[in-house]
Amino acid sequence: MLLAKRLLALIPVVFGILLLTFLLVHLVPGDPVDVMLGDSAASTDRAQLRAELGLDKSLPVQFISYIGHLAQGDFGRSIHTQASISSMLVERIPRTAELAIVALLIAMAIGLPLGIFAALKAGKWLDHSASVLSLSLSAMPHFWLGPLLMLVFALWLGWLPVSGMEHASSIVLPAMTLGFGLAAILTRMTRASLLEVLNEDFVRTARAKGLSEQAVIVHHALRAALLPIITVLGLQLGSLLAGAVITETVFGWDGIGRLLVESIEKRDYPVTQACVLVIALSYVLINLATDLLYAKLDPRLRFAS
């Protein structure tokens, strides 16, 4: 029942994504015909190419045609290369997913322990140090942090490749760029959630029973504190896909984010629409999965639904 309600609620959201993506892409300044033929092309050649690409039709007609092809699972073909967009997405999406997962693991490896220690040492130097570090990381934009990591780990120390995908270690720097910002959010969220739980009655009862402090923290407090943390993880995983647009471009990572930037530069409408649609739908589906997982972990939400 809950899944059916959530899926029905997604229908207007998905339609809105399709409509906004289509309109925004066509509002981008520039003409793909000018990009392909140049400013010196004859008007007849321009008109012929525009008709071949279907750009001579009105926007409502183009949108209806776009929806019709999507309903058949057809994303169309690139205006410039005539390559199948579906095959381009199949090639690029796993690379972006790999980058997002590694970034998420880095963020969890840093943010969760740091947040736990900060909560357990609230008001002490470790807590203050964690707060300063998390604020510093969250204030660093990807387009600044990425080149900084390049400078330190690739150029000065020579430990990692500057960019590209030739080596297995090439994923480290872009994943760190994405993961550090999420680690800052996780640190603050874990600290706040755990501090709130530590003051609950069931934690005091567990201590009164004679359980060790480690057992109280791991088996009681952390389990209760995980609910808001899971929500943040789900929301931020969707944000990692959007943040990958800048990071992939900086590090030359051939994922869907870099494909999106390239298609915008070339005014390749079909590819741009497909990339934005995939990123937006990924965000929506990840939020849906997070919502369902939260309901499974907290029975009160299932009964309320």
What type of residue sits at position 300? R
Q: Give ∠ CA 51-55-61 in degrees, rounded to 5.
A: 110
Report the C-alpha gap between 261 and 273 in whole angstroms: 12
What DSSP assignment string belongs to 116-145? HHHHHTTTSHHHHHHHHHHHHHHTS-HHHH
Cβ atoms of 242 and 279 within 8 Å: the answer is: yes
123-166 tens-digit pLDDT? 788 778 888 888 888 778 878 888 898 899 888 888 888 888 88
- The 10s digit of each residue's pLDDT in 49-70 is 777 767 777 788 888 888 888 8
Under DSSP, the state recorded for 165 is S
Q: Are 171 and 99 in contact (CB under 8 A)?
A: yes
Element (H, E) at 267: none
Nearest to 81 by CA among 289, 263, 277: 263
Cβ count within 10 A of residue 247: 26
- Give the position of tokens 């999106």: 260
Residue 303 pLDDT class (50, 70, 90 cuts): very low
Cα angle, residue 60 at apex, residues 279 and 245 outer, rounded to 5°: 20
Res 120 pLDDT > 70: yes
Residue 38 pLDDT: 65
Note the pLDDT of residue 105.
92
Residue 184 tokens read as 């800052």
- The CATH fold assigned to 94-265 is MetI-like fold (1.10.3720)
Query: Which residues are 77's β-sheet partners?
Result: 84
CA distances from 245 to 100, 279, 302 (A): 11, 10, 36
**Does 270 have pLDDT greater than 80?**
yes
Return the structure tokens found at 212: 């060790």
Structure tokens that stand for 103 in this block: 């970034």
Per-residue tokens: 187:
């640190």
CA distances 89 to 9, 259, 277, Å, are 26, 9, 11
End-to-end Cα spacing for the chain: 8
Phi/psi at 73 (5° precision): 75, 20
Mean pLDDT of 206-225: 75
Cβ–Cβ < 8 Å for 252, 163: yes
Q: Which residues contact 89 (CB under 8 A, 6 or more apart)?
A: 75, 256, 274, 275, 278
> Who has greater pLDDT, 290 or 299?
290
Name the DSSP class of 58. -
Please, which residues bridge with residue 84 across strands?
A: 77
Token code pair at residue 242: 């959007």
Closest CA to 245 of 96, 89, 87: 96
Residue with tokens 């947040």: 115
The amino acid occupying position 174 is: P
- Provide the pLDDT for residue 35: 65
pLDDT digits (tens, 9 = 90+) for 232-261: 787 777 777 766 788 888 888 888 888 988
Rounded to whole angstroms, how far apart are CA atoms 305 and 301?
Answer: 6
* Residue extents of the structural domains in the chain: 2-71, 94-265
* One-letter identity of residue 228: P
Q: How many CB atoms lie within 10 A of CB 1?
A: 7
